[in-house]
Amino acid sequence: MLKTEDYSQSGEVVQTDVLDNGLHVQYVYKPDYHKTYAMFTTNFGSIDNSFRLAGDEEFTRVPAGTAHFLEHKLFDKEDYDAFDLFGKTGASANAFTSATQTSYLFSTTDHVAENVDILLSFVQDPYFTDATVEKEKGIIGQEIQMYQDDADWQLYSGILGNLYPTHPLHVDVAGSIDSIATITPDMLKTVHAAFYQPRNMTLTVVGNFDVDAIHNVVQANQAKHDFSQLRELERGVQPDYAADSILPYRMQTLPISRSKAIVGVKGLTEIPDNRDGLRQTFAVRLLLEMIFGDSGAKYLDLYDQGVIDESFFYEFTTGRGFNYITLGGDSADPAQLSETLINVLTDYKDSPDFTPARFEVLKRAAVGKFFASLNSLENIANQLASQSFSSVSPFLIPEVVEGLTFADVQNAAEMLVRSEAISVFHIHAEEEQ
């Protein structure tokens, strides 16, 4: 039976259910929209490189890039391609793999029930052959090479390699040409059976649709499958909050016109999967906005000096077993850029922008940005799906942010900004050497 959760402060209503087979479903009815957006997500990403099912003595290890490879292959069936089925109804389909999740999605203005049925069926009914798997290796190999030629991607991968050299987070989501070469149909079937079981998945539907009708479609679809033989799953990957494995500095040279620098700060403390964790996450994001945001005096000063330009970025990322800050950009002098950013970050207490008054302004702006994001069905679905394996709803964000204090930001900064957690990665332009 559907349960209704009313988030009055966000102005959103979510209807949820957990089916007998463990599948979690969540629906957000938006009558003022013409489009509907659906996302089928499994709690399985690129870091999940080993696992053990109940009854197994040893862990099964899988090659880097397996989650991403499986994402590609699930669209391809014996006598049809899932993209073609969506196309016949006018729907647009896609999929993506992250460090911790894989999502399959579609958007449509019509035939919602038919497309939901297609989505569930093609994801849960795998089909692999030696020939199709070998063909996919060539396609994904080209994708891997494309990322190898992308300097910004190399910059990001480089800092993850510094912060998490012994954790699978540093490995490219797509793997390497060598790692995917070892993937077999049997391996994909084993991984699919382990991670694509309903209790490890969530279906999210947002838009203008008949909730009861779609829920009936979902229940009927799941009744066609036999999940009685599923076994409990144990993940092999462990959290990484250790400082002693961090590589302080690395660099590489690429044929680019302008050098790049990135600073990483590894979280050495777990951010809990609860309301307090959400509070800590937004406290760190407000900290970064206070001292590096483009409305601050320090940003304008660094921009006027030419230390930073439009390429400058900063971000705080959290995930299952990790969290970290990244900030950087393009620079004629990457050493100057990284050194300056570290000094600004570590001296945050002395920043003219780190004040209670600025905090209050940016807190209100953060709440406003969240409400603006609710104008997008895609954003709503993505936020719900990404938080679906968490114990807190993204619709609690306004309440959590409004309850933040300047002291919360100070505490978050003291927890995260630690000299032993900092690392630097540079990419130098060849012509500068």
Q: What is the DSSP string of 315-362?
A: EEEEETTEEEEEEEEE-S-HHHHHHHHHHHHHTGGG-TT-SHHHHHHH
Express each pLDDT in 38-81 by its tens digit.
999 999 999 999 999 988 999 999 999 999 999 999 999 998 89
C-alpha closest to that of 381 among 96, 69, 44: 96
SS3 state of residue 158: helix
The residues near 95 (Cβ < 8 Å, ≥ 6 apart) are 71, 72, 74, 75, 102, 103, 104, 105
Express each pLDDT in 249-299 by its tens digit.
999 999 999 999 999 999 999 999 899 999 999 999 999 999 999 999 999
Burial 47-57 (b: 16+ CB within 10 A, else e): bbbbbbbeeee
Mean pLDDT of the chain: 95
Predicted local distance difference test score (pLDDT) of residue 433 = 42
Q: Is the pLDDT of residue 140 over 60?
A: yes
CA 194 to chain centre: 21
Q: Is the pLDDT of residue 28 over 50?
A: yes
Predicted local distance difference test score (pLDDT) of residue 149 = 87
Predicted local distance difference test score (pLDDT) of residue 382 = 94
- Could you please report the per-residue DSSP string of 15-40? EEEE-TTS-EEEEEE-TT-S-EEEEE
Percent helix, strand and coil across the chain, each to the nearest 5: 45, 20, 35
Give me the mean pLDDT over the 372-387 stretch. 94
Note the helical H segments in 252-333: 275-292, 297-305
Report how far apart, in Å, the C-alpha atoms of 74 and of each of 70, 180, 188, 299 are. Answer: 6, 16, 10, 46
Strand arrangement, sheet containing 233-235: 60-61, 50-53, 233-235
**CB-based contact 162:103 (threshold 8 Å):** no
Residue that the structure tokens 């080209």 belong to: 142
Q: How many residues does the chain have?
A: 433
Is 339 a catalytic site residue? no
Specify the domain boundaries for CATH 3.30.830.10 within the chain: 3-235, 249-432
C-alpha closest to that of 99 among 37, 157, 154, 25: 157
Rounded Cα distance between 222 and 24, Å, is 12
C-alpha closest to that of 158 among 172, 141, 143: 172
Residue that the structure tokens 């001292």 belong to: 291
Active site residue: 12, 57, 71, 232, which one? 71
Give me the mean pLDDT over the 24-46 stretch. 97
Give me the mean pLDDT over the 126-135 stretch. 94
Predicted local distance difference test score (pLDDT) of residue 431 = 67
Express each pLDDT in 295-353 by its tens digit.
999 999 999 999 999 999 999 999 999 999 999 999 999 999 999 999 999 999 999 99
Percentage of the chain exceeding pLDDT 70: 99
**CB-based contact 200:134 (threshold 8 Å):** no
Q: Is the pLDDT of residue 10 over 70?
A: yes
CATH number of 3-235: 3.30.830.10
Q: Is the pLDDT of residue 20 over 80?
A: yes
Q: Is the pLDDT of residue 430 over 90?
A: no
Give me 405's structure tokens. 């204090």
Give me the mean pLDDT over the 145-160 stretch. 94
CATH number of 249-432: 3.30.830.10
Which pLDDT band, with edges at 50, 70 and 90, does 226 fall under? Answer: confident
Express each pLDDT in 78-92 by its tens digit.
988 999 999 999 999
Q: Is the pLDDT of residue 229 over 80?
A: no
* Global confidence as pTM: 0.94
The residues near 291 (Cβ < 8 Å, ≥ 6 apart) are 298, 344, 345, 348, 351, 353, 354
Which pLDDT band, with edges at 50, 70 and 90, does 432 fall under? Answer: very low
